[in-house]
A = this chain, B = another copy of it.
Amino acid sequence: MKKFLNKPENFVDEMVEGILAAHPDQLAIVENDLRCIVKAGEKKKGKVGLATGGGSGHLPLFLGYVGQGMLDGCSVGGVFQSPSSEQMLNVTKAIDAGAGVLYIYGNYGGDILNFDMAAEMAEMEDIKVLSFAAADDVASASRGEEGKRRGVAGIFFVYKVAGAKADELAPIEEVKRVAEKAAANVRTMGVALTPCIIPEVGKPGFTIGDDEMEIGMGIHGEPGIHRGKLKSADEVTDTMMSAILEDLPYERNDQVAVLINGLGATPKEEMYIVYRRMDQILKEKGISVFHVYVGEFATSMEMTGFSISLIKLDDELKQLIARPARTPFFEQVQLSV
Q: Which residues of chain A have a CB within 8 Å of any CB of chain B?
A: 2-6, 11, 14-19, 21-23, 25, 56-57, 59-60, 64, 193-194, 210-211, 230, 232-234, 236, 258, 264-276, 279, 292, 294, 296, 299, 301-302, 304, 306, 324, 326, 328-329, 331-333, 336
Contact = CB atoms under 8 A, between A and B. Distances in A.
Contacts of A266: 4, 302
Each complex incorporates copies of this chain amounting to 2
Nearest to A56: B269
A304 B2 contact: yes
Given A4-B271, A15-B276, 16 more contacts: A2-B193, A2-B194, A3-B270, A4-B266, A4-B306, A5-B273, A11-B269, A15-B272, A21-B292, A22-B279, A23-B292, A59-B269, A59-B272, A265-B302, A267-B302, A296-B296
Contacts of A271: 4, 18
Contact of A22 (B60, B270, B275, B336): B275
Contacts of A16: 272
A217 to B, nearest CB: 14
Given A2-B230, A6-B234, A331-B332, A21 B276 contact: yes
A31 to B, nearest CB: 20
Nearest to A332: B331
A270 B301 CA distance: 9
B2 A274 contact: no
Contacts of A194: 2
